[in-house]
Amino acid sequence: VEIFLGVFIGAVTFTGSIIAYGKLAGKIGGKALILPGRHLWNLVMVGGSLVLMLMYMNHAGSWTLYVMTLLALLLGAHLVMAIGGADMPVVVSMLNSYSGWAAAATGFLLGNDLLIVTGALVGSSGAILSYIMCKAMNRHFLSVILGGWGDATGPAMEIEGEQVAIDVDGVASALDDADSVIIVPGYGMAVAQAQQSVSELTRRLRAKGKEVRFAIHPVAGRLPGHMNVLLAEAKVPYDIVLEMDEINDDFASTDVVIIIGSNDIVNPAAQEDPNSPIAGMPVLEVWNAKQVIVSKRGQGTGYSGIENPLFYKDNTRMFYGDAKASLDGLLTQIS
């Protein structure tokens, strides 16, 4: 049993992690791949693996283990392919949990108490993190893990307007005129390793007497606390780093909001479009600010594949380019 469970969970984790990496790296489309009868296929693969396990326990031969491994590899890839980019943070922590349970099963096989304990710790902590993130996103845990069971359906809301770009001088001018600034960091800041530039921008703006704060969404980045760790590493004062519930009501009285590499967590479609894949997810209401500046690589939808109406609003300006390069250029304009 331990051999079978260890191989099964490990194989699911292996291919699932490869697909998750491909989606996050942009090498695989972020949209969910929905096959006809996908849940039935999942049940067939799990059921087939259970039958093979019983056969293996009755000395049917090692071929049952090989066939089960193949089924588990397919199951891992199929499960993650069916999950949209918006839910990938949950998937990453859940895959982390799977790896822990695989290690624990191996520990039982080898009679290694240390491996059992560490595997159980990793498995349980990953599962708890996944549950916390699902609660923060207003998503059902099983809905995400089972490949998007119960996803919203129907035509997406039509978006009017166009994206308006802004250059470094325009951003510098807007910040110079502003008294209050809120910075919203996201996964894009982590990818570009722009936290040091963000910290320096914060220091210079505060030296000019401006109020600068950070708005942190519970699922910003890949895991809860991801942005907090990066900002702490860059020596951003902790007292100006606020959680979503603490700062969401303050956007309406804010002059400028700077969004760095965030998409889904600032998407008004979560509140306005019942057919959106992220409908009902709590988001940072940045669009209520007087002006919103979005630092973004390009005009694409990002790894989640969900269009963001925020980018088309009249008070939004798009600051295109790599986050670190864009901020470094901005720092040359702000003394």
C-alpha closest to that of 297 among 324, 276, 269, 273: 324
Q: Are 295 and 259 in contact (CB under 8 A)?
A: yes
* DSSP 3-state of 72: helix
Run of H or E residues at 242: strand 241-243
CA distance 67 to 115: 26
Q: Is 115 left (phi over 0), alpha (psi -120 to 50) or beta?
A: alpha
Radius of gyration of the chain (CA): 23
Task: For residue 241, report the phi and psi dihedrals to the nearest 5 degrees.
Answer: -100, 110
- State how beta strands 180-185 and 256-260 pair: parallel
CA distance 171 to 57: 67
* Residue positions annotated with a catalytic role: 187, 222, 303
* DSSP 3-state of 249: helix
